[in-house]
């Protein structure tokens, strides 16, 4: 006797498709985040999330700025560059070059955020590197910061896993229509018992 299952109900099919769509959307979202954060690295670039409004309107809070590493002598007035904060070596600033001059073994920079009132003065060895902005991804930084948090990582893994688990558990635990009606399994004509 071969059991055949009738097609599932429309609400069940809709739920299954909804959960599957959620899992795919989460996977696509994760892929997009990884591409935004990781792809520049594969191309020798670096992505940085803008955490302050010092470069408004050019760069907004939450934007991702992708920078290329350059010799400091290649920078030009007007370039947006990323460099180590002269007052806090743990921070990276991204500001516009207002002036620069090669002075012996160093390049002296004057930079200022577009929205700031005061400039920064700093030096970098001519053998060093700085970053020059290549392009920006508006607001993607909010997602990257969230995805890098403990809650973000947990949800990015847990939501697709829960959606897939719900689909499978529903499939396993759902009673077959013939069992629910008490008619038992159907016999298919012409089938030979195994």
Residue 115 maps to which CATH number?
Answer: 2.10.109.10
Distance CA 112, CA 82 (A): 11
Q: Are residues 126 and 158 in the same domain?
A: no
Q: Which residues contact 2 (CB under 8 A, 6 or more apart)?
A: 187, 188, 191
Q: Are residues 68 and 108 in the same domain?
A: yes
Residue 169 has what pLDDT? 86
Q: Which residues contact 98 (CB under 8 A, 6 or more apart)?
A: 77, 110, 111, 112, 119
Distance CA 121, CA 74 (A): 18
**Residue length of the chain:** 194
Structure tokens at 116: 């700031």
For residue 115, name the pLDDT band (cuts at 50, 70, 90).
Answer: very high
Residue 73 forms part of a structural domain: yes
Domain that holds residue 30: 10-37+145-176
Q: What does the pLDDT average to over 65-83? A: 98
Residue 188 forms part of a structural domain: no
Residue 93 forms part of a structural domain: yes
Q: Are residues 66 and 117 in the same domain?
A: yes
Q: Are residues 56 and 127 in the same domain?
A: yes
**Residue 130, pLDDT above cutoff 90:** yes
Residue 78 has what pLDDT? 98
Residue 63 forms part of a structural domain: yes
Residue 55 has what pLDDT? 98
CB-based contact 26:159 (threshold 8 Å): yes
Q: Are residues 51 and 132 in the same domain?
A: yes
Share the mean pLDDT of the chain: 85
Q: Which residues contact 61 (CB under 8 A, 6 or more apart)?
A: 50, 51, 52, 53, 141
Residue 31 forms part of a structural domain: yes
DSSP 72-120: GGG--TT-EEEEE-SS-TT-EEEEEEEEEEEETTEEEEEEE-TT-SS-E
Residue 185 forms part of a structural domain: no
Q: Are residues 67 and 94 in the same domain?
A: yes
Residue 119 forms part of a structural domain: yes
**Residue 129, pLDDT above cutoff 90:** yes
Residue 193 forms part of a structural domain: no
Q: Are residues 164 and 92 in the same domain?
A: no
3-state secondary structure at position 158: helix
**Residue 134, pLDDT above cutoff 80:** yes
Q: Are residues 104 and 128 in the same domain?
A: yes
Residue 35 has what pLDDT? 74
Per the structure, the count of domains in the chain is: 2
Q: pTM of this prediction? A: 0.68
CB-based contact 46:40 (threshold 8 Å): yes
């Amino acid at each position: 006797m071969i059991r055949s299952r009738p097609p599932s109900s429309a609400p069940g099919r809709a739920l299954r498709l909804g959960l599957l769509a959620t899992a795919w959307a989460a996977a696509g979202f994760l892929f997009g985040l990884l591409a935004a954060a990781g792809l520049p690295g594969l191309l020798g670039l670096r992505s940085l999330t803008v955490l302050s409004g010092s470069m408004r309107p050019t760069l907004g809070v939450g934007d991702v700025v992708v920078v290329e590493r350059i010799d400091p002598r290649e920078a030009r007035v007007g370039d947006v560059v990323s460099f180590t904060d002269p007052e806090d070596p743990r921070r990276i600033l991204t500001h516009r070059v207002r002036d620069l001059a090669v002075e012996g073994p160093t390049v002296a920079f004057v930079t200022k955020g577009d929205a700031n009132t005061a400039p920064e003065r700093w030096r970098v060895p001519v053998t060093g590197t700085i970053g020059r902005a290549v392009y920006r991804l508006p607001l993607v930084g909010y997602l990257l910061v969230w995805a890098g948090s403990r809650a973000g990582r947990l949800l990015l893994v847990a939501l697709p896993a829960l959606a897939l688990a719900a689909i499978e558990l529903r499939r396993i635990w759902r009673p077959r229509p013939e069992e629910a009606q008490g008619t038992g399994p159907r016999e298919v004509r012409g089938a030979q018992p195994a």
